Amino acid sequence: MRPLRADAQRNFERLIVAANAEFAERGRAASLDEIAKRAGVGPGTLYRHFPTREALIDAVLRDQFNELHQQATSLTSTVAPDIAIERWLRGLLANSMTYHGVAASLVNATLDGGSRFAWPATCQQVHADGEAMVAMAQAEGVIRKDVTFSDVARLLTGIALSLADAPESSDTSDRLFRVAMDGIRHQPQEALDASADL
């Protein structure tokens, strides 16, 4: 991308600051028009920088998405696959709960809509990392073979969105995360057969 002119760069930065404030206050109900107003620019300026709501969310959360990528790179080379995927998915859930579930709404949009090439670049990276983490864990027998990263992402975004406005959500999110992890972990066939006989 070509560098922005000085005035365009100032507008970009104002929009990011305003979006941070609006998302922090209103979560998924944040208004793009209100963000433009808070930034002191017109809606047209906002849409020139961010053609979609998802592009704006991506820009606001880019540092967190990049941190998730760095964690994936580090975990896969330093710890066992079962530990790596659990730690990374915990980070993904924490990210999804940012700003009352705003990040989760972006993940949902990427799961439900269109070509991956239309997704923000950092979201593409998170999905690529997630698919690699799931494949690695499956190769080591850590999680079930029939689970996809999209399945896992839907479980985590469901947790994040259901608790978006809950006043005391940390204990509940941790409990639900452990339930989700129990559901995707690999179980030997003998254990499944034994439970079916009960």
**Which stretch of 1-5, 26-30, 167-171 has the lowest confidence by average pLDDT?**
1-5
What are residue 3's phi and psi, to 5 degrees?
Answer: -60, 145
The C-alpha atoms of residue 177 and residue 174 are separated, in whole angstroms, by 5
* Residues 129, 68 contacting (CB under 8 angstroms): yes
Please say if the pLDDT value at position 196 is more than 60.
Answer: no
Mean pLDDT, residues 83-111: 87
pLDDT at 4: 59
* Structure tokens that stand for 125 in this block: 């990276």
pLDDT at 40 over 60: yes
**Spatial distance between the Cα atoms of 21 and 28, rounded to a whole number of angstroms:** 12
Question: Higher pLDDT residue, 2 or 49?
Answer: 49
Residue 117 is predicted with a pLDDT of 55
Contact between residue 172 and residue 158 where contact means Cβ atoms under 8 Å apart: no
Q: Is the dihedral of CA 178, 183, 186, 187 positive or negative?
A: positive
What one-character DSSP code corresponds to residue 97?
A: T
